[in-house]
Structure 1
């Protein structure tokens, strides 16, 4: 049997077009990034918990490689999902980057691996 990394379940879900995190079976705390043990209660027992994929941009930045300009401009974002979990990702519609903007997850392959990306919704920031 191959060694299993804590994040393997996450990437398998992304390949299926789902956004999931760990949820502790002992105290129900959600956690991301994946960890072997719950930081709240110490339990090793967890299960996959599906997320809505909806949230708000908390921060954003234009990503540039220190050795030179990237071939494709990317906007990195910190998203607080409606469930309270924060994730780092890329914004698909970069021209709409704004703190507080509502976003929804979508799955794409901007490179060699399928990723959870985000696109802004028509709603105005609160």
Structure 2
């Protein structure tokens, strides 16, 4: 697990430009066993231009070992919600798209993550705590 965090962190830091941003380094727990909620999630957010960079083991697996761009859906005094999409391939070679939303609840200092396969009403959920840093 430490090696996974170190490698994701290194890739994440190399992929983000040296600009003022807030980073969220989150340890997540899935409410189930689907494995579509990452154990470790990195979110880099530059509020000046609303640039969002996402990295986790799912993104790196399905995006050529590179972080992915996301977007801010909501930002206010109570929360900030990020959204991104990952094109996936299952064990049978079928492709699909997974929509992710991660909401940082500021007062609770908790990240809630939902992964929903396109075309389906239900999804997968997870939650956890994050180390938040501004640089």
TM-score, normalization by structure 2: 0.26
Higher share in strand: 2
What TM-score, normalized by structure 1, do the two folds share? 0.27
Instruction: Determine which structure has the larger helix proportion and give its number.
Output: 2
Larger Cα Rg: Structure 1 or Structure 2? 1
- For CA contacts below 8 A with separation 6 or more, give which structure has more relative contact order: 2
